[in-house]
Amino acid sequence: MATKPLAVLGGRSAEQFLTEFWQQQPLLVRDAFPDLGSLLNPDELAGLALDDTVESRIIIERSPIDWELRHGPFNETTFKNLPRTHWTLLIQALDHQVPAVADLLGAFDFIPSWRLDDIMASFAPVGGSVGPHFDDYDVFLVQASGQRRWQIGQHCDDSSELLPELPVRVLQRFEPTQEWLLNPGDMLYLPPGLAHYGVAENDCITLSVGFRAPSEPEILDDFAHFLLPRLKDSARYQDQELALQSNPGWISPAAVTRMSSILLQLVSDQDQVSQWMGEYFSRTKYDQNPEPPEDDYLDTEVLDLLHANLSVRREESSRLLYTGDAHRPQRLFVNGETLPIPPMTHSMVLYLCKNRHYNPVNLAMFCETQENLRLLTQLLNSGVLYIEEDLYQEDED
């Protein structure tokens, strides 16, 4: 798989992309997604912006130094009163709302899914943009419809100056180095910190496949919360080899070394860190569990549905991860919880974590083993997986 040329990467292999581009330099791919055609329309996005369970924003450019930010949910009057040009509607986590958009994620399977944040959609009429800015994370910008002119510029960091007192992060200084007009299906990958500026040439929809990279404060804070209830109060600082010191007010380097070795030991326990990572990264974006089905499925019903070739999908906001060896999972993580992996279920666990849309024939084969059937039924009954009304159709690949 590593050396296979991928159309989504312009014929490069995933291995080549990871070595030469990921987190390093931008990449433009023409026609990365040739069939996006009717995936989305602006009315659908506007409709989602009325929904109070969807995170939406509107950014209006009043002038190059005057930007307005509004948070949804919006109503129909909001859209009637928008200017004709120079605004953008942003819908976060569109992949949670539209299964066909979630299916695009399969094209990015060469990046671990725990690094993925969501797919954000933007709609803009001519002139619409969110201003020249930089992001702290990697992003693949996929042009879904219309055209957008993208410019990329300098590398930025915390010291890069932003326009003062604005609700959006617009760079004070933008130094374009390259420019492209993106047509439907084209894709631009940008590494973190690279200044970019995309302006709609006409009504256009752009999808941002965004990755997540927690900050050091977030990592330490969350890991500490995970670890604290697991520590024993009786495990204490010890200094049996205490040396006499001339000033009792001195915290000696030896004491500092003893203290830092306690801290190091706490944060370097691989088993704890891997369980924390599984729980942390498998939490859903909005920390909400999926809706369970109205009635629990019985094992026998699940088998009947699989034999009837009905599609099984992962609920779009749900995250499934595992730790252990690549081919021998040790722990399964489902939406922030650690689930024990029953014996005999390893292959099915790998299959569930790898895909988002499951072939009922494969599942039925797994479910010849009772443990697999029980686990599958449990995941269906918690709403993490669901049965679609449609018959299963193999994804084109």
Q: Based on the shown chain and the rule CB under 6 A, indicate whether residue 135 belongs to the binding site for ligand SIN.
A: yes
Q: Based on the shown chain and the rule CB under 5 A, indicate whether residue 186 belongs to the binding site for Co ion.
A: no
Gyration radius of the chain's alpha carbons: 25
For the bound state, the minimum distance from the C-beta of residue 99 to ligand SIN, rounded and expressed in Å, comes to: 21
Q: Binding residues for Co ion, how many (CB under 5 A)? A: 1
Q: Based on the shown chain and the rule CB under 6 A, indicate whether residue 88 belongs to the binding site for ligand SIN.
A: yes
Distance from chain centroid for Cα 24: 19
Number of H helices and number of E strands within the chain? 12, 19
For the bound state, the minimum distance from the C-beta of residue 159 to Co ion, rounded and expressed in Å, comes to: 19
Q: List the single partner that 198 binds among Co ion, ligand SIN, none, CB under 5 to 8 Å by kind.
A: ligand SIN
Find all residues with CB under 8 Å of 347, minimum gap 6, and list them: 366
For the bound state, the minimum distance from the C-beta of residue 129 to ligand SIN, rounded and expressed in Å, comes to: 6
For the bound state, the minimum distance from the C-beta of residue 356 to Co ion, rounded and expressed in Å, comes to: 25
Distance from chain centroid for Cα 280: 13
Q: What is the CA angle 62-65-67, rounded to 5?
A: 45
Q: What is the CA angle 294-100-310, rounded to 5?
A: 50
Residue of this chain nearest to Co ion (CB atom): 135
Q: How many residues does the chain have?
A: 397
CB of 185 or CB of 210, closer to Co ion: 210
Q: List the single partner that 318 binds among Co ion, ligand SIN, none, CB under 5 to 8 Å by kind.
A: none
For the bound state, the minimum distance from the C-beta of residue 41 to ligand SIN, rounded and expressed in Å, comes to: 16
Beta bridge partners of 66: 63
Please report the DSSP string for 7-76 in residue order.
Answer: GGGTTEEHHHHHHHTTTT--EEETTSSTT-TTS--HHHHHHHTT-TTS-EEEEEEEETTEEEEEES---H
CB of 208 or CB of 311, closer to ligand SIN: 208
CB of 145 or CB of 208, closer to ligand SIN: 208
Distance from chain centroid for Cα 39: 20
Q: Binding residues for ligand SIN, how many (CB under 6 A)? A: 9
Longest C-alpha distance within the chain, in Å?
A: 82
CB of 102 or CB of 152, closer to ligand SIN: 152
Of the candidates 220, 266, 257, the residue with the CA atom closest to the CA atom of residue 238: 257
CB of 151 or CB of 330, closer to ligand SIN: 151
Distance from chain centroid for Cα 360: 26
For the bound state, the minimum distance from the C-beta of residue 175 to ligand SIN, rounded and expressed in Å, comes to: 17
How many other C-beta atoms lie within 10 A of the C-beta of residue 208? 21
CB of 72 or CB of 198, closer to ligand SIN: 198
The single residue among 206, 311, 317, 318 that binds ligand SIN, judged by CB under 6 A, is 206
For the bound state, the minimum distance from the C-beta of residue 58 to ligand SIN, rounded and expressed in Å, comes to: 12
Scanning 15-23, 43-51, 128-136, 372-380 for contacts with Co ion by CB under 5 A, the matching segment is: 128-136
CB of 134 or CB of 322, closer to Co ion: 134
Is the C-alpha dihedral spanning 8, 145, 35, 384 positive or negative? Answer: positive
CB of 135 or CB of 315, closer to Co ion: 135
Q: Based on the shown chain and the rule CB under 6 A, indicate whether residue 208 belongs to the binding site for ligand SIN.
A: yes
CB 67 within 8 A of CB 54: no
Q: What is the CA angle 95-100-104, rounded to 5?
A: 70
CB of 55 or CB of 135, closer to ligand SIN: 135
Q: Which of residues 284-323 bind ligand SIN (CB under 6 A)?
A: none
Q: Which of residues 139-158 bind ligand SIN (CB under 6 A)?
A: 139
Q: Report the distance separating Cα 189 and Cα 112, nearest Å.
A: 16
The single residue among 95, 118, 135, 279 that binds Co ion, judged by CB under 5 A, is 135
Q: Which of residues 175-204 bind ligand SIN (CB under 6 A)?
A: 196, 198
Q: List the single partner that 199 binds among Co ion, ligand SIN, none, CB under 5 to 8 Å by kind.
A: none
Runs of H (alpha helix) within 119-251: 216-227
Instruction: By CB under 6 A, name the binding residues for ligand SIN.
Output: 88, 122, 130, 135, 139, 196, 198, 206, 208
Contacting positions for Co ion (CB under 5 A) = 135
